[in-house]
Amino acid sequence: MPVSACREKQRRRFLQWLSASPLLTLAGGTRLFAQDMKRPDPMTWPATTALDLISSPKDAVNVFDFEPVAFKRVPPAHFGYMASGIDDEVTLRANRQAFLKYELRPRRLRDVSRIDMSVALFGTRWKTPIIIAPTGGNRAYDPDGEIAVARAALAGGHLNVLASAAGSSIEDVIAARQGEVWFQLYATSSLEVAQQAVRRVERAGSGPVRQQPTAQQSATVSDLEFRYRFDWDFSVAFVSACS
């Protein structure tokens, strides 16, 4: 191995060891690695003082009002895992910029006594066009994990998509949702494993299965900053059952 490559490898191992050291926390390293880390837009502009934070979900003007609350109240590594994006977060910022192109068109003299926001997808009509995207590691934020998400989807009439790296089984999530749940399939190199997963979600009564390509695994900001500090104390019930 060239000297430069060896030196770079040793440097990276030292930084990994340093980030996991408890001495760094005592010296104010938590602020160095978490509180001052580059945060994705629009976390740069919302209220960050305790007095300006919302105290109830009812006080939220939009979904981004929840981010500064999470930033203050959850462990730094957990927030980094939840709010950060892949690599330099270019796609994360691009997505938010893209959504700014959509606007509400104000209309006048319209009957609003009966408003229908329902949408039909693959033969099923949903009460709202809101889709709860698949996310893993929900038990790191709530003891009920994906079950709590399913209950929220039921209360709002939203489409719920379960992640492959979920901490609850597809059967339990469908029972909590009391209806159709879609499933996100991370295909592996083994076709047999993928077939077992698809057959199981079909038996459970799941809706469409969305395949997530995994040809290249990218690192998130949280992976790089908090690799040795995130609390992964939850079970991946579905994956373990299919293995």
Question: Could you give the C-alpha distances from 133 to 98, 153, 183, 192, in angstroms and in order?
Answer: 18, 11, 10, 26
**Does some domain include residue 70?**
no
CA–CA gap between residue 24 and residue 32 (Å, rounded): 9
pLDDT the model gives residue 213: 56
In 3D, which of 149, 211, 213, 212 has the Cα closest to residue 181?
149
The helix (H) or strand (E) run that includes residue 10 is helix 3-19
Range of the structural domain that residue 196 is part of = 115-215+230-243
Torsions phi, psi for 93 (to 5 deg): -70, -35
* Whole-prediction pTM: 0.66
HSE, CB side, 13 Å, CA atoms: give it for residue 196.
Answer: 12
Beta bridge partners of 99: none
Whether 170 contacts 201, CB under 8 Å: yes
pLDDT the model gives residue 30: 46
Q: What angle do CA 162, 68, 147 make, to 5 degrees?
A: 25
Q: Which residue in this structure is represented by tokens 């209950």? A: 151
**Does some domain include residue 149?**
yes
Task: Count up the domains in the chain and report the number.
Answer: 1
**Does some domain include residue 206?**
yes
185 is written with which tokens? 């399939």
**Does some domain include residue 148?**
yes
**Does some domain include residue 51?**
no
Which stretches of the chain drop beneath a pLDDT of 70? 1-6, 18-51, 210-243
Hey, how many other C-beta atoms are within 10 angstroms of the C-beta on 40?
A: 16
CA–CA gap between residue 69 and residue 54 (Å, rounded): 7
**Does some domain include residue 71?**
no
pLDDT in tens, 24-56: 554 444 444 444 444 445 555 555 566 678 888
pLDDT the model gives residue 1: 58
**Does some domain include residue 238?**
yes
pLDDT the model gives residue 215: 43
